[in-house]
Chains A and B, each alone.
Chain A
Amino acid sequence: QQQVKQSPQSLIVQKGGISIINCAYENTAFDYFPWYQQFPGKGPALLIAIRPDVSEKKEGRFTISFNKSAKQFSLHIMDSQPGDSATYFCAAPTNAGGTSYGKLTFGQGTILTVHP
């Protein structure tokens, strides 16, 4: 069964700084690692995802770095803004196919606060 460990639980960053959130997974039959952003009272929104035929993916201020041998991936938010203040969840496929196909296992979440 998949486990995804996310750290830190909370993060405070000054405006313009870099926010870094890390995740580690145990094993997976599929290579797909998304990050979701959730604001209070809202559903999670897909922020960025990586399929590790590459080790890094960048979309605007958001970058995923992936280390397959270490089974770790991280989210970097450059030039962090107060509007980025939210809870971030990483996820990994819930292991091999069959009834697990399509399922995601989520990390515990990181509450990011960006101070102006």
Chain B
Amino acid sequence: GAVVSQHPSRVICKSGTSVKIECRSLDFQATTMFWYRQFPKKSLMLMATSNEGSKATYEQGVEKDKFLINHASLTLSTLTVTSAHPEDSSFYICSAARLAVYNEQFFGPGTRLTVL
């Protein structure tokens, strides 16, 4: 149990375009999902917390207008990178939390974004 999927797994786009990444909890309901960014050989950097039915909470220094997050249901959250630029190239990972079991997060497989 506790499977989280992400789509797409890899995306290459041109500078200036927008990219949407989907995160789904497949076998449990997640009232909260988290979006992380990870640079090569580095730790996980939390970008934002996504709660179903409410606005996302962004970490300090994360541009909310560039990284749009929508959590439309208990099993789906989306991250849209708007007007992507090469510096947005990174590995983006979501996690879904079963908060009845507090702090327990299950991660998706990640999305590799390359902006040309």
Question: How many angstroms between the C-alpha atoms of A22 and B42 in the bound complex?
Answer: 17
Binds B, one of A44-52, A57-65, A74-82: A44-52
Determine the residue in chain A with the shortest Cβ distance to B57.
Answer: A99
Question: How many angstroms between the C-alpha atoms of A109 and B2 in the bound complex?
Answer: 23
The residues of A that contact B6 with a CB separation of less than 8 Å are: 43
Interface residues of A in 16-67 (CB under 8 A from B): 30, 32, 34, 36, 41-46, 49
The residues of A that contact B4 with a CB separation of less than 8 Å are: 43
Determine the residue in chain B with the shortest Cβ distance to A46.
Answer: B106
- Indicate if the CB atoms of A44 and B107 lie closer than 8 Å: yes
Determine the residue in chain A with the shortest Cβ distance to B98.
Answer: A102
A-B contact count (CB 8 A): 62
Contact partner, A36, options B99, B107, B108, B109, Cβ 8 Å = B107
Cross-chain pairs A/B with CB under 8 angstroms, 14 sampled: A30-B103, A32-B103, A36-B107, A41-B110, A43-B108, A45-B107, A46-B107, A89-B43, A102-B99, A102-B102, A102-B103, A103-B34, A104-B105, A109-B41
- Indicate if the CB atoms of B93 and A44 lie closer than 8 Å: yes
Question: How many angstroms between the C-alpha atoms of A103 and B36 in the bound complex?
Answer: 11
> Number of A residues whose C-beta is below 8 Å from B?
23
> Number of B residues whose C-beta is below 8 Å from A?
26
The residues of A that contact B99 with a CB separation of less than 8 Å are: 101-102
Residue A72 interfacial (CB < 8 Å): no
Chain A interface (Cβ within 8 Å of chain B)? 30, 32, 34, 36, 41-46, 49, 89, 93, 99, 101-104, 106-109, 111
Residue B81 interfacial (CB < 8 Å): no
Q: Give 9 nearest A-B pairs by CB, closest first.
A: A43-B107, A43-B110, A32-B103, A43-B109, A44-B107, A106-B44, A43-B93, A106-B43, A102-B97
Question: How many angstroms between the C-alpha atoms of A109 and B95 in the bound complex?
Answer: 18
Contact partner, B43, options A32, A45, A93, A108, Cβ 8 Å = A108
